[in-house]
Structure 1
């Protein structure tokens, strides 16, 4: 689900300008975290649901989505001009790239890693999001222990425990649209005709980061069998909200700063590594230390 997010972020950057890009990012930021929390609810049908949904999305994209990558659009326009005018002087920058295929592939593959090691802010952003992503998957591994083993809920009811994360993310989206998006629109007017500094996107993350820590401490400290299961459920909602309040501004910051699919690909790659690695030691960690 996550590796294909990098081109989507590039697509959003191509289609929408900075003024409306944040609104377009809302659904994009909510959906990936809603998926893991909604999955257990439809666990018995998950593969059928995914297959049907992916097939519908593929059909919609294939038949309705035009090309948005500006270098390709310029190359297409130049090609049409050459055909209509019979003048070979029209060409796009992409067509002027005469590097051999091997060098172009090497340059494309190495660009994300150059960004990682040469851009401190890119490294900090990628590592922070990756750590957050990994801890979320640790939380998913803890939920069956807390709600099934400790609170003795059956598997079906325990699956509903993931829903507050999605609800919290939706609440975070509402907070963004009501509070932070109007503020960013004021920044656009204030800084015009110049662009708004990308760092202005990070204001929302400054609110979300403390909530993320509070949510995890709350969930851990109240996950004892002697405490009502409603407490860790509500904590999950706070965690979901904080994830959204952190993810959206960081994604938007990367797009505004680098305007590069390579940067998005790097963030996705590193985050996916953490998401794959953390569950590998989750069971052993909880057996030794318990979910608290």
Structure 2
């Protein structure tokens, strides 16, 4: 099926590429990998310049300089000193860039692991903290994920102390919410960091590491948390180590900020105050608030493609956190009779499935994309080349629900629903890898805003699904609960298929997409 979809995609986009026209990259239509303070008008595709205007060709090689940041005709405008400027994050050494990629991925894993780790000790917390109902225990997970909606804020360490020292219900719930607020930073910014330092081909492999975090963390949380006596202290110590690494080893990768620092250094060295960076202008509080708070939603609701993708990813993410209520019912004392620790181990196949999907993406999907890039050069590869695996993942995700639901009877071997979790891991990772790459390729100039809106929506689903899961499971039982979710997931399968067919037309009408359709 994957080969048929890929073949269909290539046929469509071979025709699309044949009609591409060269677009000169000037300061007015240039695209940066950041989002910050770029004015929306700068993203409008301008008419071709007159012959006398200097243009900058797209470099098909891995080291690419974003045009907005190349020195223009203004002799005091600070930009990159040529395509090989060592200060450009795209030109940093590969070991350094891979270290930053791994560190940012671990930060994501730390945040998501902390979100689900209490699920294995909810019975103990009910006794020691006096939770009035089981739903209060569920709130320790939901409030953490709800905190993602308030971020991104700074900090990865000190918020954990509150959870570790809490000795009553109100304290633990408040500090769990605050923990989630601060944990939103790596979830939102790590993807943008990867976009700052990698070319499109290598970015696929780098995002593979990044995407493992949001799913490996929640999957390992119950498996490890069920056997650790001091879950919150363990999370605190681990977050403290990461804080030290962030302070001393995480360099700035945001291109406009680097150029602003370069301009400030130039002013200090020469004493000439005329040296300026492209974004070196005073920004009012209102403008900054608009960029931070309003722009993600403006981008989301103005872009039907981004909205559909976000709803798809949000549903998948919500189902992931619903599993933390469904698994204990299927494998716990109401089902196969396992205790909390052993029930947590049932999440391990989901983690293994994530790893298998990443390996498949790194060693099969991304090499094919690299070949495709060479064929398309110097034109960009159409973003729709990223979508076939999302179709495959959507089908597998639906199959996983029916497999898990209708083999969840205690009379069946626990191996069957447990292995269905492996299919969930494969399908979820394929969906997210494909759609994350599609968002980057389609909305590169506003990637931070697109990812912020996507993260908030996903977090709303992840926080709300566990709250009604218990009622669903009591009324419908795991069989029909999974069947209902499988039918809903089936409705999302055509989304990437439609974008494969109509994506070029939609991108041509987009205000935020730099890609020619």
Q: Which residue of 2 aligns with 1:21?
A: 203
Instruction: Report the structure, 1 or 2, having the larger helix content.
Output: 1
Q: Which residue of 1 aligns with 2:288?
A: 104
Cα RMSD after superposing both structures: 1.3
- CA distance in structure 1 between the partners assigned to 2:424 and 2:397 by the alignment: 5
- CA distance in structure 2 between the partners assigned to 1:39 and 1:100 by the alignment: 42
- CA distance in structure 2 between the partners assigned to 1:228 and 1:42 by the alignment: 23
Q: Which residue of 2 aligns with 1:146?
A: 330
Uncovered stretches (5+) of structure 2, i.e. residues with no partner? 1-110, 112-147, 149-183, 480-517
Relative contact order: is structure 1 or structure 2 higher (C-alpha 8 Å, sep ≥ 6)?
1
Q: Which residue of 2 aligns with 1:186?
A: 371
Question: Cα deviation per residue 1:128-160 (whole Å; 9 max; x = unaligned)?
Answer: 100011112222211111111111122221111
Q: TM-score, normalised by structure 2?
A: 0.55
User: Residue 93 in 1 paired to residue 275 in 2?
Assistant: no
Q: Which has the larger displacement, 82-91 or 165-174?
A: 82-91
User: Residue 48 in 1 paired to residue 233 in 2?
Assistant: yes
Conserved 8 A contact 1:39-1:46: no
Q: Which residue of 1 aligns with 2:470?
A: 283
- CA distance in structure 2 between the partners assigned to 1:254 and 1:224 by the alignment: 40
Q: Which has the larger displacement, 102-111 or 118-127?
A: 102-111
Cα offset, 1:49, TM superposition: 2.6
Pairs aligned (count): 291
Q: Which residue of 1 aligns with 2:435?
A: 250
Q: Which residue of 2 aligns with 1:125?
A: 309
Q: Which has the larger radius of gyration?
A: 2
Question: Cα deviation per residue 1:170-192 (whole Å; 9 max; x = unaligned)?
Answer: 11111111210111111111111
- CA distance in structure 1 between the partners assigned to 2:303 and 2:274 by the alignment: 38
- CA distance in structure 2 between the partners assigned to 1:38 and 1:138 by the alignment: 15
Conserved 8 A contact 1:215-1:238: yes
- CA distance in structure 2 between the partners assigned to 1:153 and 1:283 by the alignment: 18
Q: 1:265 aligns with which of 432, 449, 452?
A: 452
Structure 1 residue ranges (4+ consecutive) displaced by more than 6 angstroms after TM superposition: none
Cα offset, 1:27, TM superposition: 1.4
Question: Cα deviation per residue 1:214-268 (whole Å; 9 max; x = unaligned)?
Answer: 1111000110111111100110000011011111111121122222211111110
- CA distance in structure 2 between the partners assigned to 1:23 and 1:108 by the alignment: 29
Q: Which has the larger displacement, 2-11 or 164-173?
A: 2-11
- CA distance in structure 2 between the partners assigned to 1:46 and 1:165 by the alignment: 21
Q: 1:9 aligns with which of 176, 184, 191?
A: 191
Q: TM-score, normalised by structure 1?
A: 0.96
Q: Which residue of 1 aligns with 2:263?
A: 78
State the SS of the aligned residue for 2:408.
coil
Conserved 8 A contact 1:164-1:240: yes
